[in-house]
Amino acid sequence: MKDLRRLGRADADAASIRAAAMLATRAEHEGLVDVATARVPSPFGELIVATTPRGLVRLAYPNEGRDEVLEELASALSPRVLEAPRRLDEVRRELEEYFEGRRRRFEFPVDYALTRGFTQRVLRATARIPFGSVSTYMQVAGRAGNPRAYRAAGNALASNPIPIVVPCHRVLHSGGGLGGYTGGLERKRFLLSLEGTL
Amino acid sequence: MSVPPFSSFLEEHRVLVYRFLAATVGPDNADDCFQETFLSALRAYPRLDAGANLRAWILTIAGRKAIDHERRRKRRAVPVGEVPDRVTLAPPDGEPEVWRAVRELPPMQRAAVVHRYVLDMPYREVAEALGCSEEAARANALEARRRLRTRLATVKEER
């Protein structure tokens, strides 16, 4: 029965990868993908981006762990998570242009579905800080409706599910200090110098 | 605990399902059946029980898709005007005789041999997948092997 065992293994891996890619296209076409994911190259390594029909819902740095990110999306949004890079073509293109210094704002829509309440208001306020300028924790807290809640604003930004696109790196301490960054302070510095702020 | 993300589920069972289908419907039709299988799974996925046996579930769907495929193929089959005086076992271009011989087995024997030898399942799981006793699974696999040996020996002789 050696023949049979060989029969099963031969090329099944490569062939099934091709079949799975075609499956993603068909699933997309039939509207069966609630959360589409893709990998995007960046100066920090490979990012994972995820979109719902409403817009970009998640951007994860390489250190976040692919499995954890997918689990999070499945339990918070829908288990119908599938790698379907074509739906994220626009996101990938705009991010690449941004990293090359050829883009100052993102045109694709954003979905804040992974956030609630004050956190979401802080992130929406942060999204309005333009390229090349900065704000403070107190200012975004104020725009979110509570200027005294600057610590809570810091926490909200630390849990930002869509860094870079919702530019939490543009929020600094009132005293002029860089403040924190979940992705690591080097990344914050890198992004601010890319934008000519630092 | 909920079901895993579909992408992880697909990744975990991708090769297994592909091997099962390649052995059951042949490599040329495996792609299509593979996509049908996982599209069906994706449709039903949000309603799936968190405790479900995902491997058994996807193999059941794949088995149904293989049967659907066989039915469609038979309906499309065009009757030949002249009946050839002897069955030719020469394989079509590039298709190994083994594939063909496996597909010509009766359904239970084919299923037993595919689960046992192509998917490397122990007989306990083969029995579960086929919905029969372990003894019946063994008997089917044994008979299938006997037939395959005879068949493949004939092919070699005819060359």
**Are residues B145 and B110 in contact, defined by beta-carbon separation less than 8 angstroms?**
no
Amino acid at the residue B140: N
**Banded model confidence at residue A80, pLDDT cuts 50, 70, 90:** very high
d(CA A126, CA A135): 8
From B7, B14, B17, residue closest to A37, measured CB to CB: B7
From B7, B18, B113, residue closest to A19, measured CB to CB: B18
Kindly list the structural domains of chain B, giving each domain's residue range(s) and its CATH number in brackets, ordered by start.
1-77 (1.10.1740.10), 97-159 (1.10.10.10)
**A168 catalytic, yes or no?**
yes
**Banded model confidence at residue B43, pLDDT cuts 50, 70, 90:** very high
The mean pLDDT value of chain B amounts to 84
pLDDT the model gives residue A50: 98
DSSP A147: T
Which two three-digit tokens encode residue B76?
Answer: 């499309």
Please, what's the b/e burial string for B37-70 (b: 16 or more CB within 10 A of its CB; e: otherwise)?
Answer: bbbebbeebeeeeeeeebbebbbebbbebbeebe
pLDDT the model gives residue A194: 96
- Identify the active-site residue in A134, A168, A172, A192: A168
**Banded model confidence at residue B103, pLDDT cuts 50, 70, 90:** confident
ipTM score of complex:
0.89
Whether B94 has a pLDDT exceeding 50, the answer reads no
Q: Give the three-class secondary structure for A120.
A: helix
Please determine, looking at this structure, whether the domain spanning A2-99 carries the CATH number 3.30.160: yes
Residue ranges per structural domain of chain A:
2-99, 117-194
Q: What is the mean pLDDT of residues A76-104?
A: 97
CA B137 to mean position of chain CA atoms: 15
Whether B74 has a pLDDT exceeding 70, the answer reads yes
Map A27-77 to HEC letters.
Answer: HHHCCCCCEEEEEECCCCCCEEEEEECCEEEEEECHHHCHHHHHHHHHHHC
Residue contact A79–B3, C-beta within 8 A: yes
A25 or A2: which carries more pLDDT confidence? Answer: A25
A123-181 pLDDT, tens digit per residue, is 999 999 999 999 999 999 999 999 999 999 999 999 999 999 999 999 999 887 888 88
Whether B101 has a pLDDT exceeding 90, the answer reads no
Q: Which chain B residues have a beta carbon less than 8 Å from that of A51?
A: none
**Banded model confidence at residue B129, pLDDT cuts 50, 70, 90:** confident
Best B6, B36, B95 residue to mutate vs chain A (most A CBs within 10 Å)? B6
Q: Is the dihedral of CA A144, A149, A154, A159 positive or negative?
A: negative
Residue contact B22–A15, C-beta within 8 A: yes
The class of domain A117-194 in CATH terms is: mainly alpha
Residue of B nearest to A28 (CA): B39
The mean pLDDT value of chain A amounts to 93
d(CA A162, CA A93): 16
